[in-house]
Amino acid sequence: MIGVYNIAIMKAWMWAGTAVLVARTVGPPPLANNHGELRRGTPERGQRVGAPQLANKTLTAVPGIKVGHYTLAERPTGCTVVLIESGATAGVDVRGAAPATRDTDLLNPAKMVEQIFGVSLSGGSAFGLSSGDGVLRYLEEKNVGIVYGNRHIPIVPGASIFDLGVGDARIRPTADCGYRAAQAATSAPVTEGSVGAGAGATLGKMAGMERAMKGGVGSAALEMQNGLIVAALVVANPLGDVIDPADGRIVAGARNASGRGFADARRIVRSGAPRGRSGDNSTIGIVATNARLTKAQASYLAQMADDGYARAIFPIHTVVDGDTVFAIATGTRSGEADMITLGSLAADVMATAVIRAAREATGLPNFPAVRDLPNPPAVRDRQ
Amino acid sequence: MKRLALSVACAAIVSTAVTGSAQDARLANTTLTAIDGLKVGSVTLPGGTTGCTVILVDGEGVPGGVSQRGGAPGTRETDLLNPLNLVDKVNAIVLSGGSAFGLDAATGTSKWLEEHHIGWDVRVARVPIVPAAILFDLPIGNNAHEHPGPDCGYRAVESATTAPVSMGTIGAGAGATVGKMGGPGTSMKGGLGSAALRMPNGLVVAAIVAVNAAGDILDPDTGKVIAGARKPDGTFADARALLRSGALMPRGGTAPRAVENTTIGLVATNAKLTKAEVSRMALMADDGYARAIFPSHTMGDGDTVFSLATGRWDGQADVSLVGALAADAMAKALVQAVTQATGLPNIPAVRDLKK
């Protein structure tokens, strides 16, 4: 079910009064693991029952996957590139009504191409899709891709979030951004927060942009006793609030008039009176596993992972969200894949990644992050 | 004296309900039939363990949509709900037990509609448009041999009323069970549930669901398990914990077998929506499954959500708001389904659990 029925639905870029921001300079992200800096009580990721925990609790916990960011210096926006140079089976689930995507049609199980070599995530709305060109160029130079005669055709699907309302809309990620992010890609733990495609991400826009908070990049990974690894990476930029499904509490979201607490998007919806609906949205992400899957199973995995969005974001999949989930299976772990377990874990790990995206973000002027709130909500341990 | 005062007060409430206008009755209705123009009827087969539920649309029919995300569906007439396709008027939706056999219930509903000259006008006839979905309840009672058929669908539509929907172990939910991630003998009773949300401006969004999920039912507001797989001591095993512990792995694990589940439901609104918009409403309502069922949409679930927009309310409808409310109403309907259910032998309901 790819791109379900989005034909008749117009992209509605509705803007709430967006403040003109002072562009923040964000250099290329450090490659070092940032997990030494995790605050006490952050969600426990990479749990492995009866075995040591995964050292890497991010998307790169799946062997063969590299991730790189490039953040523009001129404005908070950028690219996040996932590379699978040995190729992977992939699928996609596009459920938001305002998507910006490329090469998603070929992921339909009825289509020919069986392997992809990268996924390009970016800011910049439809303009940002150009970043994929740079990833193709990088991979072609390294002779990665489907072999065609003496050429390689790298297959790199991509998606972009709408962040044009954060700073100067004329500054967008280009092919150069994608190329540099691909160059920076490593198998080290993924840097999270206000970086790469998440540099300009915001969330909690149900009470207008002026009450929104900062979103970003989040990642999480789980390893089961039998060696199955499931991991997720997300660029969280939703209209809705981020909610911890374990207790129903808001992690980050639309702020109330005092700015000290949350307005609660669930309450806003139930009152029937949402004010100032913003079009500056889309949550885009990827789940990955070392399981060996068919293309149809990978599509199904993406669909299941989308439940993670539903659980950790309220509301989600709206007319002004372009929510997209890619799924990739590297197949380095042999043995039969149990789709019920795998899909359920994918949804779980995606929900954790969304929460991490909110918690690890750093604020921008007018867009405070969770860590900037006067009374940050209590952080609970996730088992 | 206190008791007397109380009974007088009760009598007053009852008499208001009886003598009040139809409008008052509808305002008090917190189920699917709170939506003007919709009727619901359920028929439970004599064994009490399977049946069907029909949602009947008054008049010429209204635009409908569907979201089909489970891995093992049993459906009919869902392709015509694609907004690219012609037909934009649905006359009835049938939810049924009996697995694929139960799709036959829609045949009876179509027959009743034909007798009443209701359907898509093709000049030589009126063709009733009746999408349907089934759930798998064959291991319960004698369901492997007795399935809801045309007679069930006929009687259910015939009995459809605007009264508040009867919930629990009834109709399509009669043989429904939940919490099957813990292995045989640990499940609980599912059922039929419904909920309605009424906005101050007159917008109404409501849901009905027959929940027969592999997963547990959770309250999304608190994250707590309401009904689900039980441990030997009677407490909840918690499918989320089972999943992460690796206990559900295929070899020696307790993973549910494919097709033994399925949650089927419908959301409706009195707003005016196009066929594309009503399709998005179904898609967003499916998020209610994700929030109130863990796990949902598995390969062993044929999860399907239909949607209808009656268009009898003249206000300005925002699809994102209607969709978000639909997800909310659906989650509430799921919680209602298990709390209203009554148990069957070896399959306790929430009300049977020791407090």
CA distance B50 to A3: 36
pLDDT classification of A146: cutoffs 50, 70, 90 = very high
Residue B111 scores a pLDDT above 90: yes
What pLDDT, in 10s, does the model give residues B120-166? Answer: 999 999 999 999 999 999 999 999 999 999 999 999 999 999 999 99
What pLDDT, in 10s, does the model give residues A63-117? Answer: 999 999 999 999 999 999 999 999 999 999 999 999 999 999 999 999 999 999 9
A-B contacts at Cβ under 8 angstroms = 157
Q: Do B298 and A339 touch (CB under 8 A)?
A: yes
Q: Give which of B81, B198, B301, B321 to mutate to test A binding, by max A Cβ within 10 Å.
A: B321
Residue B6 contacts by C-beta under 8 Å, 6 or more apart in sequence?
Answer: none
Residue B268 contacts by C-beta under 8 Å, 6 or more apart in sequence?
Answer: B32, B35, B38, B55, B205, B206, B207, B307, B308, B309, B310
Q: How far is CA B113 from the centre of its chain?
A: 21
Residue A45 scores a pLDDT above 90: no
Q: What is the mean pLDDT of residues A311-318?
A: 97
pLDDT classification of B355: cutoffs 50, 70, 90 = low
Per CB-CB distance under 8 Å, the chain B contacts of A7 are 83-84, 276
Query: Ramachandran region of residue A264, left (φ > 0), alpha (ψ -120 to 50) or beta?
Result: left
Q: What is the percent of chain B with per-residue pLDDT over 90, rounded to a whole number? A: 81
- A221-225, B107-111, B306-310: least confidently modelled range: A221-225
Q: What is the mean pLDDT of residues A17-46?
A: 33
CA distance A239 to A68: 26
pLDDT number for residue A375: 67
Question: Vertex A102, ends A98 and A105: CA angle to 5°?
Answer: 95
pLDDT number for residue A22: 30
Query: Ramachandran region of residue A335, left (φ > 0), alpha (ψ -120 to 50) or beta?
Result: left
CA distance B194 to B305: 13
SS3 A328: strand
Per CB-CB distance under 8 Å, the chain B contacts of A270 are 197, 325, 328
Q: What is the percent of chain A with per-residue pLDDT over 90, rounded to a whole number? A: 76
Q: Do B69 and A277 touch (CB under 8 A)?
A: no
Contact at 8 Å (CB) between B35 and B268? Answer: yes
Per CB-CB distance under 8 Å, the chain A contacts of B291 are 245, 310-311
Tell me which of A188 and B255 has the higher pLDDT: A188
pLDDT classification of B9: cutoffs 50, 70, 90 = very low
Residue A168 scores a pLDDT above 80: yes
pLDDT number for residue B17: 43
CA distance B101 to B59: 29
Structure tokens at B214: 């592999």
Q: How far is B290 from chain A (nearest CA, A)?
A: 5
CA distance B120 to B110: 12
Contact at 8 Å (CB) between B333 and B207? Answer: yes
Q: Do B327 and A310 touch (CB under 8 A)?
A: yes
Tell me which of A275 and A6 has the higher pLDDT: A275
What pLDDT, in 10s, does the model give residues A230-240? Answer: 999 999 999 99
What pLDDT, in 10s, does the model give residues B137-149? Answer: 999 999 999 999 9
Q: Is A338 on the interface with B (CB under 8 A)?
A: yes
In terms of CA atoms, which chain A residue is nearest residue B301?
Answer: A340
Q: Is A285 on the interface with B (CB under 8 A)?
A: no
Residue A118 β-bridge partners: A83
Q: Is A310 on the interface with B (CB under 8 A)?
A: yes
Residue A33 scores a pLDDT above 60: no
Q: What is the mean pLDDT of residues A331-338?
A: 88
Look at residues A92, A112, A97 and name the one whose alpha carbon lies nearest to residue A279: A97
Tell me which of A253 and A48 has the higher pLDDT: A253
Longest dimension (CA), chain B: 69
Look at residues B86, B55, B62 and name the one whose alpha carbon lies nearest to residue B264: B55
Tell me which of A59 and B252 has the higher pLDDT: A59
Per CB-CB distance under 8 Å, the chain A contacts of B83 are 5, 7-8
Residue A93 β-bridge partners: A325
Per CB-CB distance under 8 Å, the chain A contacts of B320 are 239, 274, 277, 315, 318-320
Residue A39 scores a pLDDT above 90: no
CA distance B10 to B50: 36
pLDDT number for residue B15: 40
Q: Is A304 on the interface with B (CB under 8 A)?
A: yes
Interface of A with B in 89-148 (CB under 8 A): 95, 97
pLDDT number for residue B18: 43
pLDDT classification of B20: cutoffs 50, 70, 90 = low
Q: Do A315 and B320 touch (CB under 8 A)?
A: yes
ipTM for the predicted complex: 0.84
Residue A324 scores a pLDDT above 60: yes
What pLDDT, in 10s, does the model give residues B67-108? Answer: 999 988 999 999 999 999 999 999 999 999 999 999 999 999
Residue B296 scores a pLDDT above 70: yes
* 3-class SS letters over chain B: CHHHHHHHHHHHHHHHHHHCCHHHHHHHCCCHHHCCCEEEEEEECCCCCCEEEEEEECCCCECEEEEECCCCCCEECCHHHCCCCCCCCECEEEEECCHHHHHHHHHHHHHHHHHCCCCEECCCCEECCCCEEECCCCCCCCCCCCCCCHHHHHHHHHCCECCCCCCECCHHHCCCEECCCCCCCCCEECEEEEEEEECCCCCEEEEEEEECCCCEEEECCCCEEEECCECCCCCECCHHHHHHHCCCCCCCCCCCCCCCCCCEEEEEECCCCCHHHHHHHHHHHHHHHHHHEECCCCCCCCCEEEEEECCCCCCCCCHHHHHHHHHHHHHHHHHHHHHHCCCECCECCHHHCCC
Q: Do B296 and A307 touch (CB under 8 A)?
A: yes
Residue-wise burial string across B286-295, b where 16 or more C-beta atoms lie within 10 A, e elsewhere: bbbbbbbbbb
| Average per-residue pLDDT for chain A | 86
pLDDT classification of B16: cutoffs 50, 70, 90 = very low
The identity of residue A288, as a single letter, is: A
CA distance B220 to B194: 16
Structure tokens at A31: 């490659």
Look at residues B211, B206, B172 and name the one whose alpha carbon lies nearest to residue B294: B211
Interface of A with B in 1-40 (CB under 8 A): 1, 4-5, 7-9
| pTM for this prediction | 0.86
pLDDT number for residue A335: 82
